[in-house]
Chain A
């Protein structure tokens, strides 16, 4: 069946560095992907909608210069957390839109 692969699954880095998270659709093309953020013991909050070949659409309150999204191909969307700080530590999950399959998530810890 359709699978969404997310990488890395876990990353720890120092404050001030940038971290890139990849989300791939393995056996189907995904023109639209979604990026969610999940705080501990809380729900998933939509951060942005990633559209292949065009600019991402960000939800209110999400800094687009902080969370850079690139969707350059039909099978890959990337989320780059720029100049990460401890408050950016969270669980980030991507999903394709059709079918709505989720990646396994990336746990980001900023020291």
Chain B
């Protein structure tokens, strides 16, 4: 079946540190991949996405590259800020069914201190 595995948190970093949050997936076919961010007490916001192999999604300094050979979609940011503190979810959706629900990883909590 389809599933998403994220590195367990919490991840604690100092401001301006480099961030990597690992995400690997299991899926049939070629899924679309997403990163969502959830700030405390709020809903989910789409951070970035990639729909095919070797695509790189990017937004607000965050990047993730769709790696089919390693079935990965790791999230990176070169210099984190305190305002990046949130929970980050990796998710997939089967490409053949655009109207289907997302399958989420368990989420990784990021805490950035000044």
Contact = CB atoms under 8 A, between A and B. Distances in A.
Given A98-B98, A98-B99, A43 B104 contact: yes
Contact of B107 (A36, A43, A93, A97): A43
A43 B43 contact: no
A49 B104 contact: no
A102 B43 CA distance: 7
Interface string A33-49: 01010000111101001
Interface residues on B, range: 20 to 34
Interface residues of A, number: 21
Contact of B43 (A6, A32, A97): A6
A43 B89 contact: yes
Contacts of A43: 89, 104-107
A88 interface: no
B102 A100 contact: yes
Contacts of A95: 44, 101-102
Interface string A94-111: 010110111111010000
B70 interface: no
Contacts of B93: 100
A41 B105 CA distance: 12
Interface in A13-67: 32, 34, 36, 41-44, 46, 49
A105 B104 CA distance: 16
A34 B101 CA distance: 7
A42 B42 contact: no
